[in-house]
Amino acid sequence: MTAARPLPTVVAEPGLPTEVMVYEVGPRDGLQNEPVTVPVEVKLELVARLVAAGLRVVEVTSFVRPEWVPQLADADELVSRLPTLHGDGVRHPVLVPNLRGLDRAMALGVREVAVFGSATESFARRNLNRSVAESLEMFRPLVARANDAGVPVRAYLSMCFGDPWEGEVPVAQVVDVGRRLLDLGCHQLCLGDTIGVGTPGHVSALLGELDAAGVPVDRIGVHFHDTYGQALANTLAALRSGVTTVDSSAGGLGGCPYARSATGNLATEDLVWMLDGLGIRTGVDLEALVATSTWLAARLGRPSPSRVVRALAREVHGGSEEQGDR
């Protein structure tokens, strides 16, 4: 008799959202810090597999200068070859650092972009070579041009819970910069725990202060890193505050090339396992997603850091998570 494949027991928690948008960042944030160049064909297959697994938002790349992030130097080719750029209800946002990046993206038909701001001066200087105020002024014409073209702009806000150079980041400081990004015309504010030091109480406090400052929760997304094992706990705190958009990376890949203490993102599989157990709809096929991350791990030459991938890959393949179809 074959043992049943493990699935989480569904026990809903009152007051949580009934549906969550899983905002997949693996092809961009997950791969950007890989030391060995990943071929564009592998990236295209990764995106296709993620879409086939039911993910409706897959951020695919960043239009930065190649010397900044060499792994994403193929952005133009990748986007030009995406088969689902305009159809099937799938969204493929890209990150753009400036007007030039926006123009490149829109020339290729991109219909949704993101900018990457910082809540702290130290990281703004290291990542954008500008102060926080100067970076906001740089984004102003970019957001205006995108909105005029009907292209919504998401605002990532990094270092919301701590900064490796400045230490603690005051909640009021994060609220102030976040409000200013939304005032530019960004349609969504994504709160980033770039170095993974946040804890659930901190998450709840920040979301409460944003609400008090007039930022509705339906305009907020969260982006947690799992450096200290807090990403799922922080996500649950965000869900209890009403957040319905959660960033994650297939297989738990990712980090930030400008902050060495920023390790892997929240794994999409770990997130979906928790949401499935809470009875929250995502539309994601967990088994197909695990197979995708197993396949990708084989191409990267190392196992996935996701606990769910490791556990379910053993069930599916009877051995290591590196045993995907090659």
What mean pLDDT, rounded, does the chain reach? 92
pLDDT at 7: 87
Query: Cβ–Cβ contacts within 10 Å for residue 42, how many?
Result: 16
Each residue's pLDDT tens digit, 68-87: 899 999 999 999 999 876 66
Average pLDDT of the residues in 150-168: 97
What CATH topology corresponds to 21-317? Answer: TIM Barrel (3.20.20)
Per-residue pLDDT at 2: 52
What is the C-alpha to C-alpha distance for residues 281 and 106, in angstroms, rounded to an integer?
32
Q: What is the identity of the amino acid at 241? A: S
pLDDT at 325 over 50: no
The answer to whether residue 190 is catalytic is: no
With both helix axes pointing from N to C terminus, report the angle between 200-212 and 231-240 in degrees, rounded to the nearest 10. Answer: 30
Looking at the predicted structure, is the pLDDT value of residue 321 above 50? Answer: no
Residue-wise pLDDT for 199-255, tens only, equals: 999 999 999 999 999 999 999 999 999 999 999 999 999 999 999 999 999 999 975
Which sign, positive or negative, has the C-alpha torsion 50, 265, 140, 242?
positive
pLDDT of 320 reads 46
Question: Which pLDDT does position 174 carry in this prediction?
Answer: 98
Least confident of 150-164, 191-205, 223-237, 259-273: 259-273
Question: Is the confidence at residue 258, as pLDDT, over 60?
Answer: no
pTM for the complete prediction? Answer: 0.93
Of 160, 186, 190, 256, the catalytic one is: 256
For residue 326, pLDDT over 70 is answered with no
Rounded CA separation 111/96 (Å): 12
Total residues found in the chain within this entry: 326
Instruction: Look at residue 319 and tell me whether its pLDDT is greater than 60.
Output: no
Rounded to a whole number of angstroms, the CA Rg of the chain reads: 19
Give ∠ CA 150-254-219 in degrees, rounded to 5: 35
What tens digit of pLDDT does each residue of 18-73 get? Answer: 999 999 999 999 999 888 899 999 999 999 999 999 999 999 999 998 888 999 99
Strands 220-224 and 21-24: what pairing?
unpaired
CB-based burial label for 261 (10 Å; 0-12, 13-18, 19+): middle
The answer to whether residue 311 scores a pLDDT higher than 50 is yes
Structure tokens at 178: 């976040």
* pLDDT at 125 exceeding the cut of 50: yes
